[in-house]
Amino acid sequence: MITVADSDELISSLAKLPRPLCLVPTMGALHEGHLALMHEARKIVGAGGTVAVSLFVNPTQFDQKEDLKHYPRPLSADLSACESAGVDLVFMPSAQQMYRADHSIVITENHLSQFLCGASRPGHFSGVCTVVMKLFMLFRADSAVFGKKDFQQLAIIRRMVRDLNVPITIVGHATVREVDGLAMSSRNIRLTPDQLSEAPMLQRSLRAAADLMKMGERQSDPILSAALFHLQKSSQFRIDYLSIVDAENLEPVSMIRKPAILALAGFYGQVRLIDHIELLP
């Protein structure tokens, strides 16, 4: 496994590696969900291709300085995980290497990012789009794999690739969950034992609400009310948003006539978690 820390090293190393190349962008603190993305990347490129991973905690996508400060950075464990997953190349730059002191160009998405996480985290998706595009430009990857857990991020990246004619295939991988249903996240390790024990109720609440679809319900309000009923049983979880949106354009919908997403974000203390479930009419 090759590890490189700056763009010159990366470009030199890439010239020696076989194609096709599939990129798995991460912010480190790797868990089984990330490893699933790496295994998917290997399936895509085959035994003779290259699986590349970036480990970079991108400061421009954090709207809260405390969140950036406390984001876990277990580099040694992350490198071991990449090696065990058969990754060929790991790129682990510093913020100074990725962003010049006077950098002044960002990529902004003006529609999909207005809803859900974008509404409550100003500038977040500009940071995501900018760093992802930088990685695409550096790696010249044939494909890239992203987790569907961050479904809004995935939708925005797909839109960016479409609108800017980026020659890369974007692959979405299903959310990887713990046995109890909690979506795997690097932030989970910051939960207290009590919070970690309760957090699976997020997915259970969404599933209980989605079950109304089986009984013929198509209006959003009753489904949202059902999810809220279950979520409010917790005295620890603070809701950021609970919404039903169109699966393609992410606009809120009042009547579910085509695929939609029941989406949730909220906090245990300072730890922000997201989850969602697909609604199919």
Which of 34, 124, 173, 276 does the annotation list as catalytic? 34
Condensed to tens digits (0 to 9), the pLDDT of residues 94-151 reads 999 999 999 999 999 999 999 999 999 999 999 999 999 999 999 999 999 999 999 9
**pLDDT over threshold 90, residue 77:** yes
Query: Tell me, what's the pLDDT at 63?
Result: 85
Amino acid at 76: S
Q: Edge-to-edge, what's the strand order for the sheet holding 260-268?
A: 237-246, 260-268, 271-279
pLDDT band for 93, please (50, 70, 90 cuts): very high
**Distance between CA atoms of residues 177 and 268, nearest Å:** 18
**pLDDT over threshold 90, residue 64:** no
Condensed to tens digits (0 to 9), the pLDDT of residues 201-231 reads 999 999 999 999 999 999 999 999 999 999 9
Quick check: helix, strand or coil at residue 271?
strand
Number of Cβ atoms within 10 Å of the Cβ of 142? 17
Q: Mean pLDDT throughout 169-183? A: 98
Burial pattern 106-123, b for ≥16 Cβ within 10 A else e, equals ebebeebbebbbbeebee
**Distance between CA atoms of residues 132 and 145, nearest Å:** 12
Percentage of residues of the chain with pLDDT beyond 90: 97
34 in catalytic set: yes
- Counting Cα atoms < 13 Å in the Cβ hemisphere of 89 gives 28
What are the chain's domains? 2-173 (3.40.50.620), 186-275 (3.30.1300.10)
Query: Tell me, what's the pLDDT at 65?
Result: 85
Query: Tell me, what's the pLDDT at 245?
Result: 98
Condensed to tens digits (0 to 9), the pLDDT of residues 29-40 reads 999 999 999 999
Q: Mean pLDDT throughout 233-242? A: 97
